Structure 1
């Protein structure tokens, strides 16, 4: 240093002493900034060797009853099992109509047997809970009492025909309502005998012309028609238009015994005895009015199957003739139906044709009444229809609407009446396609918005609501939902009609919430990847969550 001080300083020496340290400091500062280090805190960090872990904040969940319901609905909305499928859910307060939860409520979906809510509720409204179907036993011609038999005894001969005029009663001869084919025939034969008639110089003619002759709705599939649940109604029904078929395994395979026996039916038996089949099944292949049929299926043990009577009206006439013969009353001609007479182009008098039509004001029936049978009340029929989901009764009621209000029982006529009724109620019918009365037709579609609107309308009609509400199965207790929500808040509380077909599950009805308010709902799933049992379980969970609402 002394050496330097003793020398004369130049400008370049001063620049070196000043510029070089400043440059080094600038480089260090730039490096610190690039590394994200705050120069002001370099010294402070020397005492800290570990980083403080970030604080985790848990999302807030709504644990209220409504929050849990909405959360569960959200989980269904985002489930992968909805790929390729659809579902809809609508829940409202019954009185106010205030929406509580809604998902795809204006999407038309297949409701399966929930369609029975439309048919039965509308019929109760338009016909009344006390309406009854009728079946008339009639005759025409004269009763001649001047004839003497071989024993020299005077006998009364009916020179005319006996008519059985049906007006669509689905319960005639039904064991569900404490009757049978034998009971009905004994009553009718007894009434004829009571008139003193000893012989009939004519025929027994079944008249089912009050309804369209084809018992099967146009949109039903061939597969469904072969099963007992695919039996359709006519103007004259008997024993719910089915026969029981006892299938018994034997050394030749299987044997069949029918009850009641059907005259003229040729039934080929191709039912296999297979001890290892997981679930026995039988069905009969054949169309309406076809008397040559084939029984098919597999059974592991004896079982009873059911199948449609080919021509229920003809079976009525044949059964009555058989009972009359047992009572010593002969019938000259072979039993027949008005339908057969017309198909065979046999002569029918103008009066006979007119008498097959509904009576109009001022019109006189040339037939004379022997006896009139009445069905149980419509309220009772609707109860049975909805509790066990009986397709045959639902179709009978649909055609009964048209018969009573239009004079001819047809599917189209009944559906038109239902459309008109709900249109006058201001219901938006877009999305509704009604192809039958029971829901078996795959063409049926309806929205949950429409179903809930109908349920609310029924509830506002005090004349019909008690009967309609009573007809709906009760969760955990009765009908088709007796095994659902057992032991929960919905048990004994929720009343609903169910609907089930392949790839279809639906429920609709009423439930009282925890806060005492009555709610109405509809839920439908179509073509999801959930199995039928899985989707039923999902919907049963909704039953419980709805019942817990405050």
Structure 2
């Protein structure tokens, strides 16, 4: 182990002498995975943005409070009476969510896909003898909130992208849709929109994209004045590929799924009198048509950590708050993880200098030390779910089991090197004059010495 760490310290010294990190804040902590003793540290107590390496804590908290076998249930229900002669339901059909982030997702087996779920619901409605009803309602009553929730500290630019999409008790297709985009014929000419795949209902998109000489930032900006207008702003490279598309956020996930079911029922000759809406169940009596069950939490954690889906993290935090009643849903992002850390480490000193604003790491206001993160990663090795669920959900990056995190001029890594019994966390903020890809390669060359 001494030889390995000697190689590391040499590589570390070379890295911090780089001109690109001269004005940066950076921290590194390496623990012995068997004893928890510090093998190496640099500025271990400084609070830095952990970016998506924060997801390692959210995943552990979800397993702690919910358990690896926890599943979400989405209910299909109706109110009113079905008239046998006409098949008219003098009430509404409700899609009742519990937060399932995988509802309509393409990442798992076919049972979670949007097409199969919609077909299953249409078949259940037909089997009940319903040929006409008043409308389809996306019901978010389990979270007692009819709006898609956003996180304080996320930027306007974030929340138009799929990685910054909101969340609710009723999510659908991971709350994202895609817009095909092509550049105009010349620099500074308008870019052109192509196919919009799975567009959200009632959203009017105003294209203000401009063709540029190189890749630039392009995002969908929502209007929150009730006008349902989204503005596409930014730049599209004149050399963009033929299949270039933007992955955009859905402004109202509950309405998204209710509208899709409404359209499917109409295609199947079932008359729906009203357009889809979002509300809380007000009927005294409802009848169950179907229960859709998500994959277990152990499976949900894999795309959460490997694909770094921010929406999953925020849903997990809200689910913990809802199930444990340790905080309100609105306070959950700032309370749940600190409570878990305090419980796990049994020492309030680890909360000093720490600020957590979300469960995904996207907030620029998050602050966490590499020492606290390695202490958490060390302690959870003792949990029954560690080996088969938690550790296995980690991505393998450059040959190491570690979770990455990236924000503007910020890169973080945290994970395990079992072969040499290391637990580590690295963070750097405000590196300068280097593109993220090259900076990652330089960091990997340092971490390679831990193998």
**Structure 1 length-normalised TM:** 0.73
CA distance in 2 between counterparts of 1:381 and 1:284 reads 27
Among candidates 329, 332, 337, match of residue 410 of structure 1:
329
> Going by fraction, where is strand more abundant, 1 or 2?
2
Instruction: Check conservation: 1:398, 1:415, Cα contact below 8 A.
Output: no
Instruction: Check conservation: 2:317, 2:336, Cα contact below 8 A.
Output: no
Where does structure 1 differ by over 6 angstroms across 4 or more consecutive aligned residues?
Answer: none
Q: What displacement does 1:75 show?
A: 4.1
Task: State the match for 1:320 in structure 2.
Answer: 261
Question: Relative to structure 1, is the Cα distance of residues 443 and 143 closer, same or farther in structure 2, using a 3 angstrom cutoff?
Answer: same
- The answer to whether residue 217 in structure 2 is matched with residue 285 in structure 1 is no
Q: What displacement does 1:538 show?
A: 3.4
CA distance in 2 between counterparts of 1:394 and 1:326 reads 35
Task: State the match for 2:96 in structure 1.
Answer: 165
CA distance in 1 between counterparts of 2:249 and 2:322 reads 23
- The answer to whether residue 343 in structure 2 is matched with residue 424 in structure 1 is yes
- The answer to whether residue 49 in structure 2 is matched with residue 113 in structure 1 is no
CA distance in 1 between counterparts of 2:330 and 2:449 reads 38
Q: What displacement does 1:408 show?
A: 8.4
Cα deviation per residue 1:361-396 (whole Å; 9 max; x = unaligned)?
xxxx73221111111111111110111111122222
Q: What displacement does 1:323 show?
A: 1.3
Cα deviation per residue 1:284-329 (whole Å; 9 max; x = unaligned)?
1214675211223324343121211222211222221221122222
> 1:138 aligns to what SS in structure 2?
strand
Task: State the match for 1:264 in structure 2.
Answer: 202
Greater gyration radius: 1
Q: What displacement does 1:518 show?
A: 2.1
CA distance in 1 between counterparts of 2:391 and 2:104 reads 27
Among candidates 451, 457, 468, match of residue 373 of structure 2:
451
Q: What displacement does 1:121 show?
A: 1.4
Instruction: Check conservation: 1:143, 1:157, Cα contact below 8 A.
Output: yes
Q: Which stretch shows the higher mean deviation, 129-138 or 209-218?
A: 209-218
Task: State the match for 2:449 in structure 1.
Answer: 545
**Structure 2 length-normalised TM:** 0.89
Question: Relative to structure 1, is the Cα distance of residues 253 and 227 closer, same or farther in structure 2, using a 3 angstrom cutoff?
Answer: closer
Cα deviation per residue 1:238-279 (whole Å; 9 max; x = unaligned)?
1111111122457785233211133322112223455xx333
Cα deviation per residue 1:1-44 (whole Å; 9 max; x = unaligned)?
xxxxxxxxxxxxxxxxxxxxxxxxxxxxxxxxxxxxxxxxxxxx
CA distance in 2 between counterparts of 1:470 and 1:287 reads 41
Instruction: Check conservation: 1:210, 1:408, Cα contact below 8 A.
Output: no
- The answer to whether residue 313 in structure 2 is matched with residue 366 in structure 1 is no
Q: What displacement does 1:410 show?
A: 2.4
Question: Relative to structure 1, is the Cα distance of residues 459 and 336 closer, same or farther in structure 2, using a 3 angstrom cutoff?
Answer: same
Number of equivalenced pairs:
433
Instruction: Check conservation: 1:129, 1:377, Cα contact below 8 A.
Output: yes
Query: What are the ranges of 5 or more consecutive residues in structure 2 without an aligned counterpart?
Result: none
> 1:97 aligns to what SS in structure 2?
coil
> 2:52 aligns to what SS in structure 1?
helix
Instruction: Check conservation: 2:166, 2:251, Cα contact below 8 A.
Output: no
- The answer to whether residue 295 in structure 2 is matched with residue 376 in structure 1 is yes
* Aligned counterparts, 1:132-211, within 5 A: 132-145=71-84, 154-177=85-108, 178=110, 179-200=112-133, 202-211=134-143
Instruction: Check conservation: 1:400, 1:414, Cα contact below 8 A.
Output: no
Q: What displacement does 1:189 show?
A: 1.3
Task: State the match for 2:315 in structure 1.
Answer: 396
- The answer to whether residue 425 in structure 2 is matched with residue 509 in structure 1 is no
Task: State the match for 1:527 in structure 2.
Answer: 430
Question: Relative to structure 1, is the Cα distance of residues 144 and 417 closer, same or farther in structure 2, using a 3 angstrom cutoff?
Answer: same
Task: Provide the alpha-carbon RMSD of the alignment.
Answer: 2.5
CA distance in 2 between counterparts of 1:261 and 1:504 reads 33
CA distance in 1 between counterparts of 2:183 and 2:49 reads 39
Question: Relative to structure 1, is the Cα distance of residues 333 and 528 closer, same or farther in structure 2, using a 3 angstrom cutoff?
Answer: closer
* Aligned counterparts, 1:431-510, within 5 A: 431-474=353-396, 481=397, 484=398, 491=399, 494-510=400-416
